[in-house]
Structure 1
């Protein structure tokens, strides 16, 4: 047991032992639940009860800035859990497909639970935990399209939570390393928050009618990358039992800096560069105090997506405690073995320089094979670049994830999501990055409003049914759904969901993914 987990256990042990018959009587009301920190009251929304803004750790402010999350303080009486806690501090992204509905704040370690109104402790319902994306610098649990109500109506306990972002969530500095306030837990504070939220689930979700032994983690983009990093982190063993990685950049090792290194640029150097920019030029304890005294607006400056950087910022880092390097762990078979779904959208994203087709093909171990794989795009340089980088960054990594789990002998399911809402088909020829989320979570009404059609509703019901079945059993298949066979080395099928239908079979992009797999295995960085 880690020091941090032990601290959580010690802090809550009395609360566990003190819950008696009186609490059982009070929790007969479906909108009242006894957590280990105290009683919470939710809001009944038809067949679902929503509990929002439950603290799962102390506010990470003041001396707790850049510390592992500390156990939340308990409370007396009933805490109203009726509105979202603040999303974590960030520079909001104006074009976000999932706009925030709170004012971001450093005080942000809150979670939300939706449960069927009829659910009671001991019902052992499947649990889904949602991890938002946003490039590790944006995002939160408050957006309307992340509402867990529609999925909870299907007999699921659905949970979302906030984790620290940007320099608040991913930061290293020599003064932090020297102080070592959390026994080696340094740098990846956002991932520490994710682990703390999953530990909270293990301790509390039974009170909401959920089964702590049947937890599915799911996330998209940076959230999908978080799922992959949890899959490959020894610290996450036992905290989840199924995984869904959506548009997950799973081949990022070459893009991540080490927390500390002797011969290459590292995250500590980035932290020192930020400190210099912010005017903190002292050393040791004085530097740490100065950094923690900086206004939140100074710490967050220049870190939002598509913002102009004003000072170095590291993002997730190889720390040797939580992150060992997901590429390497998956390639060596050291990941957590659980049923897994992974995929990407039909017009996903990738990044790279504006090279000519010949320059692009020359990067591959077998340029002729690459030319053949992309023959239909060779005369369209712009599209070729876009699809080639997306294949490197999202499409092939999705197959890499399911291939690793299938090789380990666990059920794995590969998808490509290409259904586009009818109102957007004049604008989008395929599904853009992040826009599949309302379909998976069946929140399309919040996304499309009066423009929503029956076909859109049916598409959302289909993929949400696959999700719910997967959370229940580890297998997405169910009555009335198109058959989705598990991925096998001799049957590398993909569930292809398009405007017209959902059908599993041979991947039409297999040759493209094969050449990008060869590129990744020779050391070509995804998206570079």
Structure 2
């Protein structure tokens, strides 16, 4: 359900002791000492620290295995390195294609990617019990490289939190499924989600509807909720068979196919997962996403929220103004492509809510008619039930990415503002563009809201002081209060009522 999620927990810094050595800042976590880099005078980044065993060889397609700290310690000793460098970004997890353009092939990255980047105040000490923001990057479960969303400037602005950004398995490497995975001897459902959970357990720190057996977080920020269908393993089985066949592993029982897939090259698997979304697979469910496994994920997230089957913690949930993950000329085709289980009758009901004469253009009609059920209605689907139990805030981000050349505030537009002018590309790439003083001031305001929520569970306690002073470039706020349009509330109520048909 989540495109990107921040989770909050309280943690004695890495459960370890920080020190300043002649080499630079270090942290001793008991089984290893890591060397960080000082990115600002008040900020230290520890990059690429492992939280689990590498999911390679026989561990490919299996659930996350907790880190063997004895192995890490012995390898450090054998190498003669009393201090392990954590001063450079690690290899990101193997990427899938965005599906746009013949030059956009996936496959870059590494399987040995279960790492975290940790950003901390310089001079923080164990026992400070600083609040932790845990960042799960977006990318539709298919792509994403935490290097493209750095947090050094966040700590520089507010050196009283710790921020942890997690790498987790993506696309087929994280979400391959077939009904036979009910027997873990073959493989495990939702391995990419289990990576995130293991990272939180390593931190001791979380998902709002997952059946994890313990609460690993104390608050959540859900940005641009990706209301993608969560199919069953049976519905994903044709995709599994296509993938196995395309990778050269299509014959024999599942046990033999899985043995073959675990021995296949990364390039063979990358080509197979790309082919599924680039038109070579004719099935309805052509992407490797989380599935309803009946154990970790026991129901559609929207329905579970309406049934009060979620963790009650403070929540911020929002979207950009012009969200959509669909394009094309036909609303019915776009809706059916995104939500394969919708019937023709369901689609006719949707269309009645979006008459063209209520919009400035057919393109705006398409954007709203797809963007609301796909993303925007996540505010209402999560926010309304949450507000009955916990402090809850919703937002609409309404500033376009200035490099887009349009006034349309597209999906993920706020990332450019909040992460140093980042624009992500395919295969883990990104470019960073300079920000104007006004843009930097607005970014600081947004970051202050988020980090106030991290510190207190309320975004307004430590919001940026806009009174004139040498630190502030402007005393004009970029945010304001508004009421949700009544028509949007009605349309989203309908979309929420269709959670079972939309499978989200």
Q: TM-score, with normalisation over the residues of structure 1?
A: 0.75
The answer for the alignment partner of 1:225 in structure 2 is none
Q: Deviations over 1:51-81 (max 9, x none)?
A: 1111111111110101111122322332111
Higher relative contact order (CA 8 A, sep 6+): 2
Asked if the contact 1:89/1:105 (under 8 Å) is kept, the reply is yes
Q: Does 1:279 align with 2:248?
A: yes
User: 1:387 is matched with which residue: 368, 387, 391?
Assistant: 368
Deviation of residue 300 (structure 1)? 1.7
Q: Does 1:147 align with 2:128?
A: no
The answer for the alignment partner of 2:203 in structure 1 is 201
In 2, the alpha carbon distance for the partners of 1:304 and 1:236 equals 35
User: 1:505 is matched with which residue: 482, 491, 495?
Assistant: 482
User: 1:86 is matched with which residue: 88, 91, 97?
Assistant: 91
Q: Quick one: structure 1 residues 438 and 237, their matched pair in 2 at CA, closer, same or farther if it must change by over 3 Å?
A: farther
User: 2:394 is matched with which residue: 405, 414, 425?
Assistant: 414
Q: Tell me, which stretches of 5 or more residues in structure 1 are unaligned? A: 1-15, 203-211, 218-229, 261-265, 484-498
Deviation of residue 430 (structure 1)? 3.3
Asked if the contact 1:127/1:156 (under 8 Å) is kept, the reply is yes
The answer for the alignment partner of 2:133 in structure 1 is 128
In 2, the alpha carbon distance for the partners of 1:134 and 1:454 equals 29
After TM superposition, the structure 1 = structure 2 runs for residues 78-477 of structure 1, keeping only pairs within 5 Å, are 78-91=83-96, 93=98, 104-143=109-148, 146-153=149-156, 154=158, 155-173=160-178, 176-178=181-183, 180-181=184-185, 186-202=188-204, 212=205, 230-235=207-212, 237-250=214-227, 252=228, 255-260=229-234, 266-280=235-249, 281-304=251-274, 308-311=278-281, 313-324=287-298, 325-351=300-326, 354-355=329-330, 363=347, 370-371=354-355, 375-377=357-359, 380-407=361-388, 409-420=389-400, 423-424=402-403, 427-441=405-419, 449-450=433-434, 452-477=435-460
Q: Deviations over 1:265-298 (max 9, x none)?
A: x223432332233332122543321121111111
Asked if the contact 1:248/1:394 (under 8 Å) is kept, the reply is yes
Q: Quick one: structure 1 residues 91 and 292, their matched pair in 2 at CA, closer, same or farther if it must change by over 3 Å?
A: same
CA RMSD of aligned residues (A): 3.6
Q: Give the 3-state SS of the residue equivalent to 1:388 in structure 2.
A: helix
Asked if the contact 2:223/2:319 (under 8 Å) is kept, the reply is yes
Q: Quick one: structure 1 residues 402 and 441, their matched pair in 2 at CA, closer, same or farther if it must change by over 3 Å?
A: farther
In 1, the alpha carbon distance for the partners of 2:503 and 2:259 equals 38
The answer for the alignment partner of 2:3 in structure 1 is none
Deviation of residue 399 (structure 1)? 2.0
Q: Which moved more, 1:150-159 or 1:230-239?
A: 230-239
Q: Does 1:53 align with 2:40?
A: no
Q: Quick one: structure 1 residues 375 and 473, their matched pair in 2 at CA, closer, same or farther if it must change by over 3 Å?
A: farther
Q: Quick one: structure 1 residues 480 and 152, their matched pair in 2 at CA, closer, same or farther if it must change by over 3 Å?
A: closer
Asked if the contact 1:43/1:51 (under 8 Å) is kept, the reply is yes
The answer for the alignment partner of 2:9 in structure 1 is none
Q: Tell me, which stretches of 5 or more residues in structure 2 are unaligned? A: 1-13, 336-344, 424-429, 467-475
In 2, the alpha carbon distance for the partners of 1:502 and 1:160 equals 26
Asked if the contact 2:302/2:499 (under 8 Å) is kept, the reply is no
Q: Deviations over 1:366-386 (max 9, x none)?
A: 977654xx7540x62121111
In 1, the alpha carbon distance for the partners of 2:178 and 2:397 equals 41
Q: Deviations over 1:92-112 (max 9, x none)?
A: 55989xx9xx95011111111
Asked if the contact 1:344/1:416 (under 8 Å) is kept, the reply is yes
Q: Give the 3-state SS of the residue equivalent to 1:401 in structure 2.
A: helix
Q: Which moved more, 1:39-48 or 1:112-121?
A: 39-48
Q: Which moved more, 1:72-81 or 1:40-49?
A: 72-81
Deviation of residue 192 (structure 1)? 0.7
User: 2:38 is matched with which residue: 37, 44, 53?
Assistant: 44
Matched positions, count: 442
The answer for the alignment partner of 1:478 in structure 2 is 461
Q: Quick one: structure 1 residues 150 and 93, their matched pair in 2 at CA, closer, same or farther if it must change by over 3 Å?
A: same
Deviation of residue 36 (structure 1)? 4.7
Asked if the contact 1:344/1:395 (under 8 Å) is kept, the reply is yes
Q: Give the 3-state SS of the residue equivalent to 1:83 in structure 2.
A: coil
Deviation of residue 398 (structure 1)? 1.7
The answer for the alignment partner of 1:487 in structure 2 is none
Q: TM-score, with normalisation over the residues of structure 2?
A: 0.78
In 2, the alpha carbon distance for the partners of 1:341 and 1:200 equals 25
The answer for the alignment partner of 2:340 in structure 1 is none
In 2, the alpha carbon distance for the partners of 1:323 and 1:480 equals 35
Q: Give the 3-state SS of the residue equivalent to 1:436 in structure 2.
A: helix
Asked if the contact 1:176/1:288 (under 8 Å) is kept, the reply is no
User: 2:27 is matched with which residue: 33, 43, 55?
Assistant: 33
Asked if the contact 2:421/2:433 (under 8 Å) is kept, the reply is no
